[in-house]
Amino acid sequence: MEKSRQQWSNPLQFLLACISCAVSLGNVWRFPYLCQMYGGGSFLVPYVIMLLLEGMPLMYLELAVGQHMRQGSIGAWRTISPYLGGVGIASMVVTFFVSMYYNVINAWGFWYLFHSFQDPLPWSVCPLNANHTGYEEECEKASSTQYFWYRKTLNISPSIQENGAMQWEPALCLILAWLMVYLCILRGTESTGKVFYFTASLPSCVLLIYLVWGLMLHGAINGLLYLFTPKIEQLVNPKAWINAATQVFFSLGLGFGSLIAFASYNDPANNCQKHAIIVSLINGSTSIFASIVTFAIYGFKATFNYENCLSRVILLLTNSFDLEDGSLTASNLEQVKNYLASTYPSKYSQVFPHMKNCSLESELDTAVQGTGLAFIVYTEAIKNMDMSQLWSVLFFFMLLMLGIGSMLGNATAIITPLTDSQVISRHLPKEVISGLVCFINCAVGLVFTMEAGSYWFDIFNDYSATLSVLLIALVETIAVCYVYGLRRFESDLQAATGFALNWYWKAMWACVTPLLIVGLFLFYLSDYILTGTLQYQAWDATQGQLVSKDYPPHALAIIGLLVASSTMCIPLGALGTLVMHRFKRGDQSQGSLTFTQLLPRSG
């Protein structure tokens, strides 16, 4: 009889855990970017279609597998077929890579949160230069928020080759972030379950507050109009559909093993179909909600910058032509410019090159995603608001909740297979296993706090999970449908939960979803091959902006290693099991031949 497995205190905790894992930073800083790039409101069409075709079926599949097998990713796939233990290992390796770099975002979140208690906000003013006659040169060329991010937070080096020293401030924040993760997963689902109440609900509360406040900001309406004017022509752009599929995939956290781990702590009779649909819908609606808030703030920031630009032009003209102070306003600017051009043509042509062309559209067009959105664009908008400390604290608190929720999902995905394995859990208690995992991750994560750490972060962010997870999900679907048998899985589920499997799920699992994933996989492979050398964005302190550089060979080698180490686990796992079976069969070949023939081969 198996030892009773830890369970969620109530089904709501499981639901909130899945929501915490799914609703993460990607909803806040990638979805709005995609909306902006691929036609605003019309991006929702490919997104919803991909959610129905790919997101919900895969989510239901993972939850059902985890709940039915009642084990973490390695054990669950080994139960389906002994040759598929490698899928679980690949999941674990990918999640391990992700948790190494993901907590660094939480460390940066802590850094900004702690600095938000300062008045004025440290990223709102440039520091003075050595002799106090002006501002720091790098800060003048870039903006104060970019300077604070690139110089004060990251202390970034000019290229990936120059590693630099470890920065002790982000390192301290990283240690704190890992301690917090350890505190939450220490006791297993008993403690983690309670944390999910907060990480699932608080971000939505903060987003709601931001929505209400954001809509009242001056100029927010410009951003919202920009978001909601659909550009129908983007619907025929294949990149829009591919990005929608990718976003659905990574946003729901499929293929990482965390969903399987969560579902394994469920009561076997739980109706996970309902949960899969609810979580997918909540994830989608949070993305849309976050986009509305982001665009309201974009609108505010763009309007603020546009009006600043106009003021600077007005000041320039007033000073150059000694016009009366206050006579030139935004409304009569054009008329006066024409008058001056005709009356003083020579002087006007001298002044003209210095006059910037102010345009609200171009301000709104600057599309940013990822860490740049959260730590540069949002902070720039916040510094101009009233009571900026309060808004800053709220924003980074929300970011931390989202980040820690995802980290808990990642950590659970790694630790569940380890605690399931008899070999390890016999010698070490759960607390020690969790502690070791956190310690190793933290030690490796200190690499990202070095001066070139942000470039390595980008490498891990872009390459550690993308291809591998697609492959894992593909193998998962094929394994359940064709290796284990769709009918057998269906009858298992019906026996356990009492609900029959709808034809929709069967159709999706059997043909649509695998084909979609194969398509995505082929697209990414061809994209990687066609682009040739891979490039990255490096910060140039002398110019105060990002420049493109090529990756050096050792970085390319590491990228290859990242992708290979997780994808190779699948065939290697199958090979290993084959070898072990041959070995065992060789030993038993003398005596009980009939016995081994009678022994049912699972899978």
Partner 1 sequence: MLWLLFFLVNAIQAELCQPDAENAFKVRLSIRTALGDKAYVWDTNEEYLFKAMVAFSMRKVPKREKTEISHVLLCNVTQRVSFWFVVTDPSKNHTLPAVEVQSAIRMNRNRINNAFFLDDHTLEFLKIPSTLAPPTDPPVPIWIIVFGVVFCIVIVATTLLVLSGIRQRRRKNKGPSEVDDTEDKCENTITIENGIPCDPLDTKGGHINDVFLTEDERLTPL
Residues annotated in a binding site for Na(+): 22-23, 27, 251, 283, 402, 406
The tokens for 278 are 């609810």
Q: Which of residues 569-598 bind partner 1 (CB under 8 A)?
A: none
Peptide bond between residue 120 and the one before it cis (omega within 30 degrees of 0): yes
The DSSP result for 121-161, as a single string, is: -TTTSPPB-TTSSSB-HHHHHS-HHHHIIIIIIS---SSTT
Which residues in the 391-430 window bind partner 1 by CB under 8 A?
A: 429
Q: What is the C-alpha separation between 25 and 109, in angstroms, rounded?
A: 11
Least CB distance to partner 1 at residue 191 (A): 7
Beta bridge partners of 539: 546
Cβ distance to partner 1 smaller for residue 194 or 549 = 194
The answer to whether 490 touches 506, Cβ cutoff 8 Å, is yes
- Give the residue with the Cβ less far from partner 1, 174 or 475: 174
Nearest by Cα to 302 from 403, 377, 250, 370: 377
Using rule CB under 8 A, residue 390 touches partner 1? no
Of 176-184, 451-459, 482-490, 563-571, which part binds partner 1 (CB under 8 A)? 176-184
What does DSSP say about strands 535-540 and 545-550: parallel, antiparallel, or unpaired? Answer: antiparallel
Q: Rule CB under 8 A: is residue 322 a binding residue for partner 1?
A: yes
114 touches partner 1 by CB under 8 A: yes
Structure tokens at 597: 């023939």
Between residue 291 and residue 320, which ones bind partner 1 under the rule CB under 8 A? Answer: 318-319
Does 535 bind partner 1 (CB under 8 A)? Our answer is no
Tokens standing for residue 14:
């499981």
Cα angle: 493, vertex 74, 460; to 5 degrees:
120
Given 11, 127, 485, 603, the residue binding partner 1 (CB under 8 A): 127
* Binding of partner 1 by 495 (CB under 8 A): no
Q: How far is the CB of 197 from partner 1 (least distance, A)?
A: 17
Residue among 141, 187, 312, 506 that touches partner 1 (CB under 8 A): 187
- Minimum gap (Å) between residue 80 Cβ and partner 1: 25
Relative orientation angle of helices 272-321 and 56-69, to the nearest 10 degrees: 130
Provide, rounded to whole angstroms, the least separation between the CB of residue 67 and partner 1. 17
To 10 degrees, what angle do helices 85-115 and 388-420 make? Answer: 160
Alpha-carbon dihedral sign for residues 346, 347, 351, 357: negative
| Residue 557 touching partner 1 (CB under 8 A) | no
Nearer residue to partner 1 within complex by CB, 335 or 596: 335
User: Which residues contribute to the annotated binding site?
Assistant: 22-23, 27, 251, 283, 402, 406
Residues 124, 145: Cα–Cα separation, whole Å: 7
Which residues, other chains included, contact 291 with Cβ-Cβ below 8 Å and sequence gap of 6+? Answer: 31, 32, 35, 227
Q: Where are the beta strands (DSSP E) in 432-556?
A: 535-540, 545-550
- How many chain residues are in contact with partner 1, going by CB under 8 A? 34
Measured CA to CA, the distance from residue 353 to residue 348 in angstroms comes to: 9
Q: Does 130 bind partner 1 (CB under 8 A)?
A: no
Question: Is residue 232 part of the contact set for partner 1 (CB under 8 A)?
Answer: no
Of the listed pieces 197-205, 323-331, 546-554, 594-602, which binds partner 1 according to CB under 8 A? Answer: 323-331
Counting contacts by CB under 8 A, is residue 366 touching partner 1? no
344 binds partner 1 (CB under 8 A): no
326 contacts partner 1 (rule: CB under 8 A): yes
Interface residues with partner 1 (CB under 8 A) are 1, 110-111, 113-115, 117-118, 125, 127-128, 132-135, 172-173, 176, 179-180, 182-183, 186-187, 191, 318-319, 322-326, 429, 431
